[in-house]
Amino acid sequence: MANGRTASEIKRIRTEAVVALKMLYPAALQAEQLFRSLLGLFPALEWDHFRRDLAYLCEKGYLQRVVAELEGDERLTAWRRRWFRLTSRGVELADHVIQDPAMDP
């Protein structure tokens, strides 16, 4: 149990984030909008945990950050204002073409 979340909860949240971005693929979405959308499904979801999930999914190669001209210095952009889209590998995961034990709830 990490930070009050069970392993299955963590997997479900990450999976639903990937699935939501898959529905919008190839479009990108702001982290804030994705978080507020997922709150309807996971009312106890905390922003700090979700931000770490986004970073994790980026490191895994399922998400990639999209930098907009409006951001200026991308390093200073708050996480909730950053845009994320699914990568091709993320699409394959969402379509169950590839398997990831860390993501299957």
Partner 1 sequence: MTARARTSTPKKAATRKKAATRKKCAKPAPRRKTATPRETETRDTAIRGPAADEVGPLTAYRMRMRLVGDLLNASVGELVDCGSGSDRVGRGAYLHIMGQVFEALDGLTQAVPLDDLVRLSRVVAEQRRAELNTRKVEAIVSQARATRGSSNNGETDQSATNGEYRLPAHFNEMVRQLYGVTLADDANTESANESEPRP
Note whether 46 binds partner 1 by CB under 8 A: yes
Q: How far apart are CA 14 and CA 10, in angstroms?
A: 6
Q: How far apart are CA 67 and CA 45, in angstroms?
A: 25
**C-beta neighbour count of 60 within 10 angstroms:** 17
Of 68-87, which residues contact partner 1 (CB under 8 A)?
68-71, 80, 83
Smallest separation (angstroms) from partner 1 to the CB of 23: 4
* Residue owning tokens 């699409």: 91
Q: How far apart are CA 55 and CA 104, in angstroms?
A: 18
Of 52-71, which residues contact partner 1 (CB under 8 A)?
66-71
Note whether 30 binds partner 1 by CB under 8 A: yes
Residues within the interface to partner 1 (CB under 8 A): 4, 16, 19-20, 23-30, 32-33, 35-37, 39-41, 43-47, 66-71, 80, 83
